[in-house]
Structure 1
Amino acid sequence: MNLRELNDLIKAEMGRESLVKLPFKSYRELAASIGGSLRVGGALENALSGVYSSDAKSAIIALIRIRMEKILAAVRSGSTPKNLLAEEKRILNSLSYLEPLLPRSDYNGRVRIVSFGIQFLRIRTSNGNEMGPFRKGDVAVLPVEDAEDLMIRKIVSIIYRKEKVLKGD
């Protein structure tokens, strides 16, 4: 795959709400196919391949960001995205591994896994727990009311919703 084809994939991904079916099974396969298209020769060719490699890396990062935003949006809405790459499947599956760690049904199991978008000192949750401090990017499990309040205030984004009553030990 060359850089032009990769840019075409990014445009296609940006043009659809759902994930585009990509012609490779993983980001690793994509990176290998791009790396294989580099030709190394003299000093000029090496300099150009360095620029090409940097552009390819930026394009791959852009593709990952676009796709992850779509995946998180699908999860937030309660749907399961299709056309996932291997790495994306692992990330999505890791959310289900977190489920047993979620708090028990003190508040009917209605919790949200959130990611903090800014540094936040402390929160006293609706069930009386005190949590914090949080750094940007930290993840926490909060009662739905607290998570949605912080989301409205643009402090967190919701990563995962858990609606049903969780089973105890």
Structure 2
Amino acid sequence: MIEKLRLWLAAEANSRFLTEPPYGSYAEAAEQFVRDLQNSPLPQSIAEQVKAHVYSTLVTIVELRTRKILWELSQGREPKNTTAEEERLIRPLLKILRARPHRREAQEYVIVQFVTPHPAIITEDFKQIGPFNKGDLAKLPPRDAKDLEERGVARLLRLED
């Protein structure tokens, strides 16, 4: 059991993503450990040291895996190879992740060049940019670019073939 946990910890430490856990849940690992310890003829003092070592190893595994899960979620991805406890943890977070509006893609922006100085603006996607000097370039949502162009403040740059 201890070797199995050691290998799991090494795999997690050496991987950017979650590795396949050797147990379906942390509870299953704990139950297996308790059974193994009860059947062991170890003296009490050594058994206590083994418990402390196993506890420390499991806590480190949980910490590493939790960080990986949060990183994957922050990247908009659903973590794979999760334990039962991790599934219960991330299920509500995944619901929120799936319900949030998707970020605009880069191709939904256009480039404008300012033809006059202009103060800072807040774009339709709630980003504050500027202020601008004559000749400055900016990447804007099309609606904001069109508004500035219609007011004679900026001109839309188009790629020519």
Q: TM-score range by the shorter chain?
A: 0.5 to 0.7
- Check conservation: 1:39, 1:49, Cα contact below 8 A: no
Task: Report the secondary structure of 1:38's partner residue.
Answer: helix
- Distance, in Å, in 2 between the alignment partners of 1:60 and 1:36 is 16
- Check conservation: 1:27, 1:87, Cα contact below 8 A: yes
- Check conservation: 1:19, 1:84, Cα contact below 8 A: yes
What is the match of residue 6 of structure 1? Answer: 5
The higher-RCO structure (CA 8 Å, 6+ apart) is 1
Task: Report the secondary structure of 1:37's partner residue.
Answer: helix
- Check conservation: 1:40, 1:46, Cα contact below 8 A: no
- Distance, in Å, in 2 between the alignment partners of 1:97 and 1:76 is 13
Q: CA RMSD in A?
A: 3.0
Q: What is the aligned-residue identity percentage?
A: 26
- Distance, in Å, in 1 between the alignment partners of 2:49 and 2:36 is 13
TM, length-normalised to structure 2: 0.56
Instruction: Report the number of matched residues.
Output: 105
Q: CA deviation at 1:13?
A: 0.8
Evaluate the alpha carbon distance shift between residue 109 and residue 80 of structure 1 in structure 2; reply closer, same or farther with a 3 A threshold: closer
Which of 66, 88, 98 does residue 68 from structure 1 map onto?
A: 66
Q: CA deviation at 1:98?
A: 5.8
Alignment of 1:56 with 2:54, yes or no, is yes
Greater C-alpha Rg: 2
Q: Which residues of structure 1 form unaligned runs of 5+?
A: 103-107, 111-143, 146-169
Letter of the 2:15 partner, please give it.
R
Alignment of 1:78 with 2:76, yes or no, is yes
What is the match of residue 17 of structure 2? Answer: 18
Q: Which residues of structure 2 form unaligned runs of 5+?
A: 104-125, 128-161
TM, length-normalised to structure 1: 0.53
Divergent runs of 4+, >2 A: 39-42, 96-99
